[in-house]
Chain A
Amino acid sequence: MTVHNHIHPHQQDIEDTPFTEKMLLAQAVEELIIKKGLTSPEKLREQIEFLDSREPAIGARLVAQSWLDPVFKQELLDSVNQAAHKIGIDTGEVPIQAVENTDKIHNVIVCTLCSCYPRMLIGLPPDWYKSREYRSRTVREPREVLKEFGTRISDEIEICVHDSTADLRYIVLPLRPKGTRSWNIDRLAKLVTRDSMIGVSQASIQ
């Protein structure tokens, strides 16, 4: 057995940093809405758990299904909420619009005003999606931003940036990679990444 003869730096616990004003505000609002009887601790926890259970695998299943079934794809393009509901996925009440990549157009999503994001289908947004840099540069120089994600789109293809400024949320239907003709839904769904549904990358076999 080796002798433990060095000192480790103190690792901070959550309580070692002071509460921020926003943390206190959230705590105060939570206590207030419970005291006022607007909700209960159980209902609040259920809602948090529901939001935490949202993950890119949900969106990936929808995309893979749309690759396999043209009728479902059309339903998805007409209304993501209704199409998802049909296969047992609850997407909440905020309308979600799917935008389809083709050999003529590549779509990418941003929210320049805040960080609107299709949370119900792919979970919480990554930090970069909320950054000032992503929000300001994606509308101004989308091709440069995509390059930084390792995504090069031919000049022949239109890049359409969707700025979700209002009541709708967007999700990109990436192009189905070539060479996946006989693949089943589980195998296809694994190709559909979070970033490909934001539009900063493409689905690929590698």
Chain B
Amino acid sequence: MNKAKYVKGDKIKISSLFPPGHVRTPFFIRGKNGIIDYFWGTYPNPEELAYGREGVPGHPLYKVKFKQFDLWENYEGSPQDSLSIDIYENWLEPIK
């Protein structure tokens, strides 16, 4: 999982999964559609690190951007308001 699968501009969906254990993907973002904004590089897997393991192989990490209107019903703000969040590749699914 070392090579980045996505590039800036790719449309993705955050997996709607609810595994047990330590994960770094907040509930509110699961199942939501966003766009890859930046590839940060590969970082130790936090889901392994949390249990005292080495976190290898590392996971590609991306900055993913969302429109607030796509995240919340009745969002009160401007249509251009956005949310940017760092998500590991194992939580991303391509949107065809």
Chain A contact residues, CB within 8 Å of chain B: 95, 112-113, 139-144, 155-168
**In contact, B26 and A161 (Cβ under 8 angstroms):** no
Q: Is B20 an interface residue (CB 8 A)?
A: no
**In contact, A168 and B82 (Cβ under 8 angstroms):** no
Chain B neighbourhood of A141, CB < 8 A: 75-77
**In contact, A139 and B83 (Cβ under 8 angstroms):** yes
Distance of A86 Cα from B46 Cα, bound (Å): 31
Chain A neighbourhood of B84, CB < 8 A: 160-163
Q: How far is the CB of B64 from chain A (nearest CB, A)?
A: 10
**In contact, A159 and B81 (Cβ under 8 angstroms):** yes
Given contacts A144-B76, A158-B78, contact A168 B26 (CB under 8 A): no
Distance of A43 Cα from B76 Cα, bound (Å): 50
Chain A neighbourhood of B65, CB < 8 A: 160
Given contacts A143-B77, A155-B78, contact A160 B83 (CB under 8 A): yes
Q: Which 8 A-B pairs have the closest CB atoms?
A: A166-B86, A158-B80, A163-B85, A167-B43, A155-B78, A159-B81, A160-B82, A161-B83
How many residues in B have their beta carbons less than 8 Å from beta carbons of A? 25
Q: How far is the CB of B72 from chain A (nearest CB, A)?
A: 6
**In contact, A158 and B82 (Cβ under 8 angstroms):** yes
Given contacts A140-B72, A141-B76, contact A165 B25 (CB under 8 A): yes
Distance of A95 Cα from B63 Cα, bound (Å): 14
Q: How far is the CB of A162 from chain B (nearest CB, A)?
A: 5
**In contact, A167 and B40 (Cβ under 8 angstroms):** yes
Chain B neighbourhood of A142, CB < 8 A: 68, 77, 81
**In contact, A159 and B24 (Cβ under 8 angstroms):** no
Chain B neighbourhood of A156, CB < 8 A: 78
Q: Is B92 an interface residue (CB 8 A)?
A: no
A–B Cβ pairs within 8 angstroms, 25 of them: A113-B26, A139-B83, A140-B28, A140-B72, A141-B75, A141-B76, A141-B77, A142-B68, A143-B77, A143-B81, A155-B78, A156-B78, A157-B78, A158-B78, A158-B81, A159-B82, A160-B65, A161-B68, A163-B26, A165-B26, A166-B40, A167-B40, A167-B61, A167-B86, A168-B40
Q: Which of A141, A142, A156, A165 is the most central at the interface, judged by chain B CB atoms within 10 Å of its CB?
A: A165
Distance of A143 Cα from B75 Cα, bound (Å): 10
Distance of A162 Cα from B81 Cα, bound (Å): 12
Distance of A167 Cα from B71 Cα, bound (Å): 23
Q: How far is the CB of B85 from chain A (nearest CB, A)?
A: 4
Distance of A69 Cα from B73 Cα, bound (Å): 42
**In contact, A165 and B76 (Cβ under 8 angstroms):** no
Q: Please name the residue on chain B nearest to A106 by beta carbon.
A: B81
Q: How far is the CB of A12 from chain B (nearest CB, A)?
A: 37
Q: A165-B85, A165-B86, A166-B61 are in contact. List 19 more A-B contacts (CB 8 A).
A: A140-B28, A141-B76, A144-B76, A155-B77, A156-B78, A158-B78, A159-B78, A159-B81, A159-B82, A160-B65, A160-B82, A161-B84, A163-B85, A164-B86, A166-B46, A167-B40, A167-B61, A167-B86, A168-B40
